[in-house]
A = this chain, B = another copy of it.
């Protein structure tokens, strides 16, 4: 161990990936567990990422005609029961509100004012929004109805992990209603494509688009489409889902309309969501053994300025130069915002730079008396090794910073893409498939696990069996799947599709 290069995060990814993940979040000061079971506190450095996700996705939604609205936090129990599969899917993880006040009891306050009908804290809002839609929609002229909600939801979890699986999380849920099956189907795919574009272009994470198997379909949906990303432990993370609900929820909630032909029809609906889980994916896709690595387009901030001075009389000159540089940087537009700048003038030596490396900020800029004399800055990039810093004339740095950030963004994406390609393998042999997913020799961990593209006969029995044997699931049936691929990887029956298998979060 002594010869191993020192890293800012301990353990390293190779040593203990799950613990590395927790340590990265802690070192970057992004979030922490709260005293409320399963709920997290999202701290400013983590929340800023969420705000950037919200801004980016929201603009994309609007461009497709979607409007935002807000629906109640609580859902009456009777609403949840309207769709049988749906309630079955969520009953085991519902926070239930039973009382509406507190009274002084013998040992302190106790719940009082029992509700006639218990309320469930929304795990998702299909049923309550469906009820509203049934009132808002009368005629084909009211369609399509395209609504999105940014909200908190609660799904009671026993085993939680920051961002990835928490009892309360933040998300958006889109809900649309259409006059025809075709239009609803097209919208389902359109929103999946929005997610794919956003996750690739903003979060710099390459994704595979496809359809979930029946077993993995959203409770109550006809079809669930998803995007799947590979993390650095080669497990899959579902990064967004778009559901074609057919007429299931329209029937459950009575969403009917008078057609052009004056017949009464049930509407066709969709729903689609993405959540704070994306931040977990961001950490696991790009972080390294020195901590978080933030793609510039989603970064909490772009640049930290680190003034350096030894003598007190240098301080005012260095600080003045720093403030002026910050002002010039903040005036530069960068995609959907301006360059965001931190100034860190704490006197704490080399530890200061490492703090910002751990926080994943794309650019670190040191400014000392010698830099000022040369009218230049000393720039470190988070996507390059920490020692590889470069002196750049200040004007040149300012003129080129947008291109530089775009270059970093692209570097991070390409690295993740290379990683995924390296660990995505077509497998047709059952033995090789089992080998691929059996944790093996630690000296050569790279040959075990990843995405396996393998033929599947379509039977849920094979799917269940592989899950039981290897804890591997079918992540999706990709839209661009290979047809006629040979015998099913499990049962050997003829399979006409190659699907993506992986262990998953």
Interface residues of A (CB under 8 A from B): 32, 34-36, 39-44, 47-48, 50-51, 67-77, 79-81, 87, 91-103, 108-111, 113, 118-121, 128, 131-132, 147, 151-152, 154, 156, 168, 170
CB of A118 within 8 A of CB of B111, answer yes
> What are some 29 contacts across the A-B interface (CB < 8 A)?
A34-B132, A36-B72, A41-B69, A42-B70, A44-B67, A44-B68, A44-B69, A50-B70, A51-B68, A73-B154, A77-B102, A77-B108, A77-B109, A81-B108, A81-B109, A87-B109, A91-B101, A91-B103, A91-B109, A94-B100, A94-B102, A95-B99, A95-B100, A95-B119, A96-B97, A96-B101, A96-B111, A98-B99, A98-B111
| Assembly stoichiometry (copies) | 2
**Bound Cα distance A102, B93 (Å):** 8
Task: Determine how close the nearest CB of chain B comes to the CB of A413; give it in whole angstroms.
Answer: 27
Docked complex Cα distance between A44 and B41 (Å): 29
A96 engages B98 (CB within 8 Å): yes
User: B residues within 8 A CB of A111?
Assistant: 96, 98, 118
CB-CB < 8 A to A70: which residues of B? 41-42, 47, 50, 170
| B36, B42, B67, B95: the one within 8 Å of A76 (CB) | B36
Cα-based distance from A81 to B100 in the complex (angstroms): 16
* Residues on the B chain within 8 Å of A96, using CB: 97-102, 111
Chain B residue numbers with a CB within 8 Å of A168 are: 72-74
Chain A binding surface, main DSSP class: strand
A71-B120 in contact (CB<8A): no
**Least distance between A319 CB and chain B CB atoms (Å):** 18
Distance A40 CA – B128 CA, assembled complex (angstroms): 12
Given known pairs A51-B68, A76-B35, the reply for A102 and B120 (CB within 8 Å) is yes
Q: Is the CB of B101 within 8 A of A94?
A: yes
Contact A36 B74 (CB under 8 A): yes
Closest to A92 in B: B101
B101–A121 contact, CB under 8 A?
Answer: no
Task: Please state if A69 and B81 are interface contacts (CB–CB under 8 Å).
Answer: no
Minimum CB–CB distance for A27 against chain B, Å: 15
Which residues of B have CB within 8 Å of A98?
96-99, 111
> How far is A109 from B82 in the complex, measured between Cα atoms in Å?
12
* Top 4 A-B residue pairs of the complex, sorted by shortest distance between their CB atoms: A39-B72, A44-B67, A96-B99, A42-B70
The residue on B at minimum CB distance from A146 is B44
Contacts of A32 in B (CB 8 A): 132
A125 to nearest B CB, angstroms?
11
Contact of A100 among B48, B75, B79, B156 (CB under 8 A): B156
Task: Write out the residue numbers on chain B whose beta carbons fall within 8 Å of the beta carbon of A132.
Answer: 32, 34, 41
Q: Which residues of B contact A170 (CB under 8 A)?
A: 70
Min CB–CB distance A131 → chain B (angstroms): 6
Tell me, rounded to whole Å, the shortest Cβ–Cβ distance linking A370 to chain B: 29
A181 to chain B, nearest CB (A): 25
A72: B residues at CB distance < 8 A: 34, 36, 39-41, 168
Q: Are B74 and A39 in contact (CB under 8 A)?
A: yes
C-alpha gap A43/B135 in the complex (Å): 13
For the complex, give the distance between the alpha carbons of A120 and B113 in Å. Answer: 13
Chain B, Cβ-Cβ closest to A74:
B36
Complex: A92 Cα to B74 Cα, angstroms: 19
B residues within 8 A CB of A74? 36, 39, 95, 168
Cβ-closest chain B residue relative to A170: B70
Q: Is the beta-carbon distance between A36 and B102 smaller than 8 angstroms?
A: no
Contact A121 B121 (CB under 8 A): yes
Task: Report the Cα distance A244→B110, complex, angstroms.
Answer: 30
Residues of B within 8 A of A131 (CB): 35
Q: In the complex, A118→B107 CA distance in Å? A: 14
Chain B residues with CB under 8 A of A34: 71-72, 128, 132
CB-defined contacts of A95 to chain B, threshold 8 Å = 74, 97, 99-100, 119
CA distance A423 to B422 in the complex (A): 75
Chain B minimum-CB-distance residue to A29: B136
